[in-house]
Structure 1
Amino acid sequence: MTAQALNAQLLELYHNYTKSIYAQTWEDNVSAPLLMHVFDEYCAMENKILFVGQETHSWGQMNLKPKPEDLLIKYREFNLGKPADYGDGKPLRYLRSPFWNFNRSVFYQGNWQNSEVTNKTNGFLWTNISKFDCNSTTPSQDLQDRNEEGFELLKAEIAILKPDVVVFLTGSKYDGRIDKVFNPVRETILPDGYLYQLSTVDGSLPPRTFQTKHPRTLLGSRRNKMPNRYREVVEKVRECAFDELINKK
């Protein structure tokens, strides 16, 4: 299916969602919802990957009720963290945070056999388990409950996008939300919550679905005596998600 067709399906879904969510009254510190735009490259990838983070770090204002079309443009212009204007008055820049570096690395591990692919290719998609933030961080339990439709939205998005691989970079913070929406079984790949493989009876998640900690946490902390597990997790995701398929060729 083409990116144009996928975007049309998403837009219909988003119109229904925003019509409902905008009927509520929201404070001006609650961000607008994060809605995805599919890039053409995504449809051409051998391994289509969706990365699911925690929440945005400011994304407009919910109370201004931006049109879904405008939010898709915002997503497209964000350019998956590549050189873009992030609306903070700073020059165009390339995001190199642990989160974005992790996504690009795993994406490339799964699609490097395509000679046209680099880690800068817009071949993957990104969203968050929470479609909005509050004051640029985790919304309160009350706000999450008021936007419960936003958590359910991810299931419908996956049904449309049909990714081959889903990677939750959520740690355990949103486990209750993930469990309520997907009711997954978690198989431990790396202990202590560093990597699980998730499966669902209803097929709402693809067989190659993984959950790990936020990449910033994976880097560890000397102060808290937490080891750096970043590279280990990247390599284990590659091994579990792609190696068997590549070796069959």
Structure 2
Amino acid sequence: MEKNEAVNLWEAAKSQLSEKYFQILEDHCMLDIYTVKGHSGVFLSSPPIAFFLAKKRVMVVGREPMGWRDASCPYKLGKDTDINSINSSMRVANKFDLEKKSRSWFKRFYFKVSSEVGGVENSAVWSNLFCVSFKKGSPLKSPAFESIKFISQKLLSAQIEVLKPDVIFFACGYTGDSFIKEVFELTESEVLIPRLLWRFKIDGIQCFRTSHPRWLPGREARKQAIQLAIV
């Protein structure tokens, strides 16, 4: 694909996502979440240009955005929001995709699947199972978890619908399995290694649920997932 064509696809996808994000967040009262202290800002995924140049379009889904935009998210701060607010948040997410080096285990996994599966450096799009964290960790124990779960499902579904990745790595560990099973219609589900590697499809998209990249005992299972995704 020519770069000009990729840029056009990138701009169109960002525009579609920002509109969907804005509508989702406008339709659901964020006060249900932010009346409880300890939540991060809202994470809004955004694809890099390289996503549209990759031989396979890859999405990497983590668990939650720990401490994401704690001091600058307009939804958390109770400020007026518009499309510009959404676009600003998406640009922050893009900075993650453009980093070249990191000591983070998650980011190393991101680099690896971008290059080995996507065929282009920094080409994967980063997302999260849950759109906010609670006390810099999982929102599972948040009093507002039902609202978080509902909005997270809407946001993640919008990303999959607009971006249409060829493969999705849910690098979130087995604690995310119940959420995945609850919010998506799964087909061709197969547990390859109990707790460490689960293969399934969402709307025909090949998906792998692995352990979080910092969980070293799951390293071989993650390698297997990458090899299966390359085929």
TM-score band w.r.t. shorter chain: 0.7 to 0.9
Residue 143 of structure 1 corresponds to 144
What secondary structure sits across from 1:215 in the alignment?
Answer: coil
C-alpha RMSD of the superposition: 2.1
Identity of aligned residues (%): 22
**Alignment correspondent of 1:15:** 22
The 5 Å alignment of 1:1-249 reads: 2-25=9-32, 26=34, 27-61=36-70, 62-65=75-78, 67-77=85-95, 79-80=96-97, 82=99, 94-112=101-119, 117=120, 121-139=121-139, 140-147=141-148, 148-185=150-187, 186-189=189-192, 191-200=193-202, 203=203, 206=205, 208-217=206-215, 219-220=216-217, 229-230=218-219, 232-243=220-231
Deviates more, 1:176-185 or 1:162-171: 176-185
Q: Give the structure with higher Rg (CA).
A: 1
SS in 1 for 2:190: strand
Structure-2 separation of matches of 1:103 and 1:211: 14
TM-score when normalising by structure 2? 0.82
* Displaced runs of 4 or more, over 4 A: none
Unaligned residue ranges in structure 1 (runs of 5+): 84-93, 221-228, 244-249
The structural deviation recorded for 1:215 is 1.3
Equivalent pairs, count: 210
**1:177-214 Cα shifts (integer Å, max 9, x gaps):** 1111113253022x2221111124xx1x50x2111111
Distance 1:192 1:40, change over 3 A: same
* Residue 5 (structure 1) shift: 0.1
- Alignment CA distance shift 1:193-1:21 (3 Å): same
User: Which structure carries more helix by proportion?
Assistant: 2
Residues 62 and 172, structure 2, Cα contact 8 Å, conserved in 1: yes
Q: Which runs of 5+ in 2 are unaligned?
A: 1-7
